[in-house]
Structure 1
């Protein structure tokens, strides 16, 4: 068993197979099974039928797939080009299990039952093995750590995710909802993170609009939807009685809307919103 495990703990060679602007690793003892396959928006359904629309909503551009074999063992690497780090981390965060034991692979990654996923730069990478006993996690981690720097040399958490205050935030709960935030089409996309407080659990969110006019239009439509007695048109603090999502505390400044939903006091909500707003770059 010990000898078998040693064989599986392969060393990666500093050689890569190119596929346009991405490079796949060549591994000692493993043979690439066929050519690298590529998919775009026209044929992604051939690879992930039923899930392609979800990937499109996160600015999907291209998928590269390489498959390897070593005897009966198999290893597959999928590299999704999601256009930019915001969308790459976004779709990764939506698929990441809440209980994931995250690791500093690329920007962030995790291993779960013969699968290792990570994100770095504009890429979301999904890797899995079959019939690799005992050392599957070690193998995938070794491959991922070699692959990640070739995709992005210096990955950083995009500013909107990094803007959330750390105190009382549930670890690794930052996410990006690409459309229909809170189930409302008028809201569009939003960044969110979960928190625990004295009143209970709540969500802090950031809506980044293209400019002040777009933020103003969202505010107008949201107030109309909530049947506000008067429609506020000035930047500042708002309390929205959302018939679907309960009381929402919302701070509007420039092209950003920062708010909370859930069990939180107005005072705490606006303190957090102001702290978050201060961490954001106005445009």
Structure 2
């Protein structure tokens, strides 16, 4: 199988504080992989190692078949896109001129600017000075910057954190379109609905350790009680265990036209994360 990212036994410590503790995972080429955890869990540190911003000593790391020792080389950096807490813009320049600079840096055609501005819904803001943009608009320019050179893999650290629901939905559609074209996406987010919508697989990171991994649907099934939740027209809410002995009870509710809604128990990713780690994803 082709992997965009291969990590084995990765560790990272700062001044005796173990931030990443022996984690291993692979990200398939062409998938959207969610790396989820509360603040301080080690997500951003992991991204900085995967993109060459931090030096990795303990463990094995490869991205796009390039070993971590070669991450500083220009030909590797031109193949990845990054939106992180260290991403920045030239505040005195327009949106267009910012992207023009990055096109020249990555040897991307200038025609790509209008394409990417459409993807992040900033066509009408192309001549605006960056310093005068809202926080949400700046976030979209940073996303455009990360995607301008059509990278093979893009690392997105909380890409929609400052966006309203409308712009978030627009960005989601753009990321899905990008992924359908073959780009691998490594995503961190605190928004469990976003992770459920976008990600092919997710990993739960807590205190520097990976505690669960799988597709959102697999995890929701794994942690489900599989009980039936029934709401009747007279306002009663029933929980009926999914067992053969309860078949007649459910049938009677349906036959007597008492069922207003019926569904099996499926926890959200947020509920699963809380159960696995004992922490809210904030």
**Structure with the largest fraction of helix:** 2
**More strand per residue:** 1
TM-score (norm 2): 0.22
